[in-house]
């Protein structure tokens, strides 16, 4: 057969053939990487052209542990390199996407989340070291704090820095540290009744990812972070935070429709489009926003008010401390801006 007869231009719409499908692809006949992996905090599965990363601690609201950023970054990198994958979707099992950091561990247990899979013993990430650095009666080293929190951020930002498109599928709740993850995704799609926001700005927290102004603009970001209020999924779409919001019982169908449309595109077109658009986003100072916000997040946990919240959580339990934080705003356990 001649080169012309084997050329992709002789087949109808050959540009839609995948890297593992086209007979003239450099990856043809090569063995494929594993399509499924189970981590401690999430699962990874490739179906067709879609990589599905799913937080898998539903009994804990998919709350973030020390393993989460490392495992998320590993899964994203695996999808980025897999020639089958055109798009990644991040979601959560159970009642919600992600309820933020597992503060029943961090706040109640002296900032000791337990030993992660990749042991940091003897480093500044050692849980004992971090616990000592968060002692209200001790001396706080902000850069020891930054060493930990910046690495959480680095793992979550893999969604933004991945070459391929990333989609966050939100349902139930995406609050506090859960928004640090979601706002790094290229696209957010959510259920109308999703609760989205960062209540810890009321005390003991600043969004370390620093993505709110980049996603919402100055005034709307300040409207949320000056109050700790939350948006519903429907309002997230109206404000431009989500690309689409849908009734909860239609979320799966609408997400799959979006993923299939993205996945139809050639990988190289998707990568070039994302790199081109990210260049504008990064020029806005995303890296600086994350650095400054991470430092301020540490400071917010070491103020007089921050120590009061931490000690209250340690003595009375985190849920009680959150109730006392949120009840004056009238939104304990419910979304703001209800219609």
Average pLDDT, integer, range 228-234: 98
The C-alpha atoms of residue 78 and residue 35 are separated, in whole angstroms, by: 10
- Would the pLDDT of 112 be above 80? no
- Would the pLDDT of 87 be above 60? yes
**What is 20-63 written as a DSSP string?**
TT-TT-TTTTPPPPPSEEE-SSEEEEEETTEEEEEE--GGGTT-
Give the pLDDT score at 10: 87
Handedness of CA 93, 97, 98, 104 (dihedral sign): negative
Domains of the chain: 32-337 (3.90.226.10)
SS3 call for 263: helix
User: Per-residue confidence at 166, pLDDT binned at 50, 70, 90?
Assistant: very high
228-254 burial: b if 16+ Cβ within 10 Å, else e: bbbbbbbbbbebebbbbbbeeeebeeb
Say if CB 91 and CB 52 are below 8 A apart: yes
The C-alpha atoms of residue 116 and residue 137 are separated, in whole angstroms, by: 26
CB atoms within 10 A of CB 54: 17
Which of the residue ranges 22-36, 100-114, 187-201 has the most confident prediction, judged by mean pLDDT?
187-201
Give the pLDDT score at 328: 96
Average pLDDT, integer, range 261-272: 98
Q: Is 255 exposed, middle or buried (0-12, 13-18, 19+ CB in 10 A)?
A: buried
Q: What percent of the chain has pLDDT over 90?
A: 85
- Would the pLDDT of 109 be above 80? no
Higher pLDDT, 103 or 214: 214
Share the mean pLDDT of the chain.
93
Give the pLDDT score at 336: 46
> Which pLDDT tens digit goes with each residue over 201-228?
999 999 999 999 999 999 999 999 999 9
User: Per-residue confidence at 242, pLDDT binned at 50, 70, 90?
Assistant: very high
- According to DSSP, residue 120 is labeled -
The C-alpha atoms of residue 202 and residue 228 are separated, in whole angstroms, by: 6
Average pLDDT, integer, range 97-119: 69
Give the pLDDT score at 103: 77
Average pLDDT, integer, range 281-300: 98
Q: What percent of the chain has pLDDT over 70?
A: 92
Say if CB 228 and CB 199 are below 8 A apart: yes
Give the pLDDT score at 60: 95
């Amino acid at each position: 057969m001649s080169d012309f007869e084997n050329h992709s231009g002789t087949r109808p719409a050959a540009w839609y053939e995948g890297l593992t499908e086209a007979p003239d692809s450099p990856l043809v006949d090569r063995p494929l990487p594993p399509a499924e992996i189970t981590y401690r905090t999430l699962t990874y599965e490739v179906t067709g052209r879609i990589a599905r990363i799913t937080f898998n601690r539903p009994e804990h609201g998919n709350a973030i542990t020390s393993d989460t950023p490392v495992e998320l970054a590993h899964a994203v990198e695996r999808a980025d390199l897999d020639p089958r994958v055109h798009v990644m979707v991040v979601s959560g099992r159970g009642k919600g996407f992600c309820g933020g950091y597992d503060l029943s561990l961090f706040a109640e247990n002296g900032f000791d989340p337990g030993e992660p899979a990749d042991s940091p013993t003897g480093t500044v990430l050692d849980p004992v070291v971090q616990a000592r650095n968060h002692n209200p009666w001790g001396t706080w080293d902000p850069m020891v704090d930054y060493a930990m929190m910046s690495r959480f951020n680095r793992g979550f930002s893999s969604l933004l820095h991945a070459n391929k498109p990333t989609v966050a599928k939100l349902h139930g709740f995406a609050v506090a540290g859960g928004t640090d993850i979601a706002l790094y995704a290229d696209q957010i799609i959510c259920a109308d009744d999703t609760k989205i926001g960062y209540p810890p700005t009321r005390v003991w927290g600043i969004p370390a990812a620093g993505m709110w102004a980049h996603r919402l603009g100055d005034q709307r970001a300040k409207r949320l972070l000056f109050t700790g209020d939350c948006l519903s999924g429907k309002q997230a779409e109206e404000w431009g935070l989500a690309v689409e919001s849908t009734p909860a019982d239609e979320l799966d169908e609408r997400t799959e429709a979006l993923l299939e449309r993205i996945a139809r595109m050639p990988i190289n077109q998707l990568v070039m489009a994302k790199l081109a658009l990210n260049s504008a986003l990064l020029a806005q100072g995303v890296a600086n926003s994350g650095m400054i916000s991470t430092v301020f997040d540490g400071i917010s946990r070491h103020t007089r008010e921050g120590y009061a919240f931490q000690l209250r959580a340690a003595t009375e339990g985190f849920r009680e401390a959150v109730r006392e934080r949120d009840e004056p705003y009238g939104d304990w356990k419910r979304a703001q801006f209800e219609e």
